[in-house]
A and B are shown apart, each in its own frame.
Chain A
Amino acid sequence: MENIRRFKYNGEDSLVLPAQAEAFTTLSLWIEGIADELAVPFKTKNQLLIAVDEIFTNIASYGYPTSSGSATVVVEFDMIKEILIIVFTDTGVAYNPLETVSPDISGPVEDRPLGGLGIFLVRKLMDSVEYRRENEKNVLILKKQVTGEL
Protein backbone atom coordinates (compact mmCIF):
# COMPACT_ATOMS: atom_id res chain seq x y z
CA MET A 1 0.00 0.00 0.00
CA GLU A 2 1.55 3.22 -1.16
CA ASN A 3 0.10 5.37 1.52
CA ILE A 4 1.65 3.28 4.30
CA ARG A 5 5.19 4.00 5.30
CA ARG A 6 7.00 1.43 7.42
CA PHE A 7 9.76 2.69 9.68
CA LYS A 8 13.08 0.87 9.70
CA TYR A 9 15.18 0.08 12.72
CA ASN A 10 18.86 -0.25 11.81
CA GLY A 11 17.84 -1.19 8.28
CA GLU A 12 15.40 -3.85 9.49
CA ASP A 13 11.64 -3.86 9.02
CA SER A 14 11.02 -4.27 12.73
CA LEU A 15 12.64 -3.95 16.12
CA VAL A 16 13.10 -7.22 17.99
CA LEU A 17 13.60 -6.78 21.71
CA PRO A 18 14.27 -9.17 24.57
CA ALA A 19 11.11 -9.37 26.68
CA GLN A 20 12.73 -7.61 29.63
CA ALA A 21 11.60 -4.29 31.08
CA GLU A 22 15.05 -2.69 30.60
CA ALA A 23 14.71 -3.09 26.84
CA PHE A 24 11.97 -0.48 26.93
CA THR A 25 14.64 2.23 26.75
CA THR A 26 15.60 1.10 23.23
CA LEU A 27 11.95 1.00 22.20
CA SER A 28 11.09 4.38 23.67
CA LEU A 29 14.04 6.06 21.94
CA TRP A 30 12.93 4.60 18.61
CA ILE A 31 9.32 5.70 19.03
CA GLU A 32 10.44 9.13 20.19
CA GLY A 33 12.64 9.48 17.12
CA ILE A 34 9.78 8.51 14.81
CA ALA A 35 7.43 10.92 16.56
CA ASP A 36 9.94 13.74 16.22
CA GLU A 37 10.47 12.95 12.55
CA LEU A 38 6.71 13.17 11.98
CA ALA A 39 6.51 16.35 14.06
CA VAL A 40 3.98 14.70 16.36
CA PRO A 41 2.77 17.20 18.98
CA PHE A 42 4.44 16.85 22.40
CA LYS A 43 1.29 15.66 24.12
CA THR A 44 0.49 13.01 21.51
CA LYS A 45 4.09 11.80 21.55
CA ASN A 46 3.94 11.26 25.29
CA GLN A 47 0.58 9.49 25.01
CA LEU A 48 2.18 7.11 22.50
CA LEU A 49 5.15 6.50 24.79
CA ILE A 50 2.84 5.66 27.70
CA ALA A 51 0.88 3.17 25.59
CA VAL A 52 4.04 1.53 24.27
CA ASP A 53 5.44 1.33 27.81
CA GLU A 54 2.31 -0.42 29.09
CA ILE A 55 2.09 -2.95 26.27
CA PHE A 56 5.78 -3.79 26.30
CA THR A 57 5.88 -4.02 30.10
CA ASN A 58 2.97 -6.46 29.99
CA ILE A 59 4.83 -8.72 27.57
CA ALA A 60 8.04 -8.44 29.61
CA SER A 61 6.25 -9.18 32.90
CA TYR A 62 3.81 -11.92 31.93
CA GLY A 63 4.54 -13.12 28.42
CA TYR A 64 7.25 -15.63 29.21
CA PRO A 65 6.89 -16.91 32.77
CA THR A 66 9.15 -19.94 32.33
CA SER A 67 11.56 -18.93 29.62
CA SER A 68 13.11 -15.91 27.99
CA GLY A 69 11.48 -14.55 24.89
CA SER A 70 11.19 -11.55 22.66
CA ALA A 71 8.77 -8.99 21.34
CA THR A 72 8.74 -7.67 17.81
CA VAL A 73 7.59 -4.13 17.14
CA VAL A 74 6.58 -2.77 13.75
CA VAL A 75 5.75 0.90 13.25
CA GLU A 76 3.84 2.18 10.26
CA PHE A 77 2.41 5.52 9.30
CA ASP A 78 -0.72 5.96 7.24
CA MET A 79 0.22 9.12 5.39
CA ILE A 80 -3.29 9.89 4.20
CA LYS A 81 -5.13 9.42 7.46
CA GLU A 82 -2.07 10.53 9.47
CA ILE A 83 -2.41 7.57 11.77
CA LEU A 84 0.54 5.94 13.49
CA ILE A 85 0.19 2.17 13.75
CA ILE A 86 2.31 0.24 16.25
CA VAL A 87 2.14 -3.54 16.11
CA PHE A 88 3.50 -5.77 18.90
CA THR A 89 3.96 -9.46 18.25
CA ASP A 90 5.15 -12.04 20.78
CA THR A 91 5.17 -15.80 21.06
CA GLY A 92 4.44 -15.81 24.78
CA VAL A 93 1.44 -17.01 26.73
CA ALA A 94 -1.84 -16.29 24.94
CA TYR A 95 -3.11 -13.11 26.53
CA ASN A 96 -5.71 -10.64 25.38
CA PRO A 97 -5.26 -7.49 27.49
CA LEU A 98 -8.57 -6.16 26.20
CA GLU A 99 -10.33 -8.77 28.30
CA THR A 100 -8.93 -7.20 31.46
CA VAL A 101 -11.68 -5.78 33.64
CA SER A 102 -11.41 -2.01 33.99
CA PRO A 103 -10.27 -1.05 37.48
CA ASP A 104 -12.65 0.63 39.91
CA ILE A 105 -11.13 4.06 40.26
CA SER A 106 -13.78 5.57 42.47
CA GLY A 107 -13.13 4.01 45.89
CA PRO A 108 -11.09 5.38 48.79
CA VAL A 109 -7.39 5.69 48.13
CA GLU A 110 -6.48 2.73 50.33
CA ASP A 111 -8.61 0.42 48.24
CA ARG A 112 -7.56 1.62 44.82
CA PRO A 113 -6.44 -1.30 42.69
CA LEU A 114 -3.21 -0.97 40.76
CA GLY A 115 -3.72 -3.95 38.48
CA GLY A 116 -5.33 -3.20 35.15
CA LEU A 117 -4.48 0.50 35.24
CA GLY A 118 -1.94 0.18 32.46
CA ILE A 119 -4.22 -1.29 29.83
CA PHE A 120 -6.99 1.03 31.00
CA LEU A 121 -4.70 3.97 30.23
CA VAL A 122 -3.77 2.55 26.83
CA ARG A 123 -7.42 2.29 25.83
CA LYS A 124 -8.10 5.85 26.91
CA LEU A 125 -5.01 7.35 25.24
CA MET A 126 -5.09 5.51 21.89
CA ASP A 127 -7.75 5.82 19.19
CA SER A 128 -7.96 2.06 18.90
CA VAL A 129 -6.44 -1.06 20.41
CA GLU A 130 -6.90 -4.39 18.66
CA TYR A 131 -5.81 -7.85 19.69
CA ARG A 132 -5.73 -11.12 17.83
CA ARG A 133 -4.18 -14.51 18.35
CA GLU A 134 -2.51 -15.54 15.13
CA ASN A 135 -0.28 -18.54 14.43
CA GLU A 136 0.43 -19.09 18.14
CA LYS A 137 1.34 -15.43 18.49
CA ASN A 138 -0.16 -12.49 20.35
CA VAL A 139 -0.65 -9.57 17.99
CA LEU A 140 -1.57 -6.23 19.50
CA ILE A 141 -2.16 -3.16 17.37
CA LEU A 142 -2.21 0.42 18.61
CA LYS A 143 -3.51 3.20 16.41
CA LYS A 144 -3.39 6.91 17.03
CA GLN A 145 -3.96 9.90 14.83
CA VAL A 146 -0.84 11.94 15.32
CA THR A 147 -1.68 15.27 13.78
CA GLY A 148 -4.53 17.68 13.85
CA GLU A 149 -4.20 18.41 17.55
CA LEU A 150 -1.90 21.37 17.23
Chain B
Amino acid sequence: MKLDFRKEDQKMTVVIDGNIDTVTAPDLEKELKAALNDVEVLILDLTAVGYISSAGLRVVMGTDKQMRKQGRMILKNVSSVVKEVFEITGFGDFLNFE
Protein backbone atom coordinates (compact mmCIF):
# COMPACT_ATOMS: atom_id res chain seq x y z
CA MET B 1 0.00 0.00 0.00
CA LYS B 2 1.23 3.46 -0.86
CA LEU B 3 0.00 6.60 0.86
CA ASP B 4 0.36 10.11 -0.46
CA PHE B 5 -0.28 12.91 2.03
CA ARG B 6 -1.12 16.35 0.67
CA LYS B 7 -1.66 19.05 3.24
CA GLU B 8 -2.88 22.56 2.66
CA ASP B 9 -3.37 24.49 5.90
CA GLN B 10 -5.91 22.50 7.94
CA LYS B 11 -7.06 20.38 5.02
CA MET B 12 -5.34 17.11 4.28
CA THR B 13 -5.90 14.71 1.42
CA VAL B 14 -4.58 11.17 1.67
CA VAL B 15 -4.46 9.22 -1.55
CA ILE B 16 -4.51 5.51 -0.74
CA ASP B 17 -3.06 3.19 -3.36
CA GLY B 18 -3.70 -0.48 -2.63
CA ASN B 19 -6.24 -2.70 -0.93
CA ILE B 20 -7.13 -2.09 2.70
CA ASP B 21 -6.87 -5.61 4.04
CA THR B 22 -5.82 -7.43 7.18
CA VAL B 23 -2.14 -6.86 6.40
CA THR B 24 -2.23 -3.22 5.26
CA ALA B 25 -4.89 -1.86 7.65
CA PRO B 26 -2.58 -1.61 10.70
CA ASP B 27 -0.03 0.42 8.69
CA LEU B 28 -2.76 2.71 7.40
CA GLU B 29 -4.02 3.24 10.95
CA LYS B 30 -0.56 4.09 12.24
CA GLU B 31 0.24 6.51 9.42
CA LEU B 32 -3.12 8.27 9.60
CA LYS B 33 -2.95 8.66 13.39
CA ALA B 34 0.48 10.22 13.15
CA ALA B 35 -0.69 12.76 10.56
CA LEU B 36 -4.01 13.99 11.98
CA ASN B 37 -2.67 16.71 14.24
CA ASP B 38 -4.19 20.13 13.34
CA VAL B 39 -6.22 18.60 10.53
CA GLU B 40 -9.80 19.87 10.34
CA VAL B 41 -10.81 18.37 7.02
CA LEU B 42 -9.50 14.94 6.13
CA ILE B 43 -10.16 13.65 2.63
CA LEU B 44 -9.45 9.99 1.94
CA ASP B 45 -9.10 9.45 -1.79
CA LEU B 46 -9.91 5.80 -2.51
CA THR B 47 -9.47 5.85 -6.31
CA ALA B 48 -6.86 3.10 -6.20
CA VAL B 49 -8.45 0.96 -3.50
CA GLY B 50 -9.85 -2.25 -4.99
CA TYR B 51 -11.43 -3.53 -1.79
CA ILE B 52 -11.65 -3.03 1.93
CA SER B 53 -12.13 -5.80 4.49
CA SER B 54 -13.33 -5.54 8.10
CA ALA B 55 -9.80 -4.75 9.29
CA GLY B 56 -9.99 -1.66 7.09
CA LEU B 57 -13.49 -0.81 8.31
CA ARG B 58 -12.10 -0.60 11.84
CA VAL B 59 -9.55 1.98 10.68
CA VAL B 60 -12.17 3.97 8.78
CA MET B 61 -14.47 4.01 11.80
CA GLY B 62 -11.69 4.95 14.24
CA THR B 63 -10.45 7.72 11.97
CA ASP B 64 -13.96 9.03 11.42
CA LYS B 65 -14.56 9.14 15.19
CA GLN B 66 -11.32 11.05 15.71
CA MET B 67 -12.12 13.50 12.90
CA ARG B 68 -15.59 14.18 14.32
CA LYS B 69 -13.83 15.59 17.39
CA GLN B 70 -11.61 17.92 15.39
CA GLY B 71 -13.50 18.49 12.13
CA ARG B 72 -14.72 16.04 9.54
CA MET B 73 -13.69 13.24 7.25
CA ILE B 74 -14.77 12.85 3.64
CA LEU B 75 -14.34 9.84 1.37
CA LYS B 76 -13.70 10.44 -2.29
CA ASN B 77 -13.65 8.26 -5.43
CA VAL B 78 -15.07 5.16 -3.79
CA SER B 79 -15.16 2.09 -6.08
CA SER B 80 -18.32 0.01 -6.43
CA VAL B 81 -17.02 -2.87 -4.27
CA VAL B 82 -15.87 -0.56 -1.50
CA LYS B 83 -19.19 1.24 -1.66
CA GLU B 84 -21.01 -2.10 -1.46
CA VAL B 85 -19.03 -2.99 1.69
CA PHE B 86 -19.95 0.34 3.29
CA GLU B 87 -23.59 -0.19 2.42
CA ILE B 88 -23.80 -3.79 3.64
CA THR B 89 -22.19 -2.91 6.95
CA GLY B 90 -24.22 0.25 7.52
CA PHE B 91 -21.10 2.44 7.36
CA GLY B 92 -22.71 4.36 4.52
CA ASP B 93 -25.16 5.82 7.07
CA PHE B 94 -22.57 7.84 8.91
CA LEU B 95 -19.69 8.37 6.50
CA ASN B 96 -19.47 11.48 4.32
CA PHE B 97 -18.93 10.94 0.64
CA GLU B 98 -17.94 13.51 -1.93
Contacts and interface: CB of A to CB of B under 8 A. Distances in A.
Q: Which of A47, A114, A120 has the most CB of B within 10 A?
A: A114
Contact of A117 (B50, B89, B94): B89
Contact-residue bracket for chain A: 20 to 34
B22 A53 contact: yes
Given A24-B23, A50-B85, A57 B90 contact: no
A22 B26 CA distance: 11
A54 interface: yes
Nearest to B54: A118
Contact-residue bracket for chain B: 20 to 34
A121 B53 contact: yes
Contacts of B51: 46-47, 49-50
Contacts of B80: 43
A46 B54 CA distance: 13
Interface string A47-67: 101100110110010000000
Contact of B65 (A46, A54, A110): A110
A120 B22 contact: no
Nearest to B58: A114
A1 B19 CA distance: 35
Nearest to B22: A57
The interface residues of chain A, by DSSP majority, are classed as helix
A24 B26 CA distance: 14
Interface of B: 19, 21-23, 50-55, 57-58, 61, 64-65, 79-81, 84-85, 88-90, 93-94
20 contacts: A21-B22, A22-B23, A24-B22, A24-B23, A43-B81, A46-B50, A49-B19, A50-B85, A53-B21, A53-B53, A60-B22, A105-B89, A109-B94, A110-B65, A114-B61, A117-B57, A117-B89, A120-B88, A121-B53, A121-B88
Interface of A: 21-22, 24-25, 28, 42-43, 46-47, 49-50, 53-54, 56-57, 60, 103, 105-106, 109-110, 112, 114, 117-118, 120-121, 124-125
Given A22-B23, A43-B81, A47-B81, 7 more contacts: A21-B22, A25-B23, A28-B21, A106-B90, A109-B65, A124-B88, A125-B88
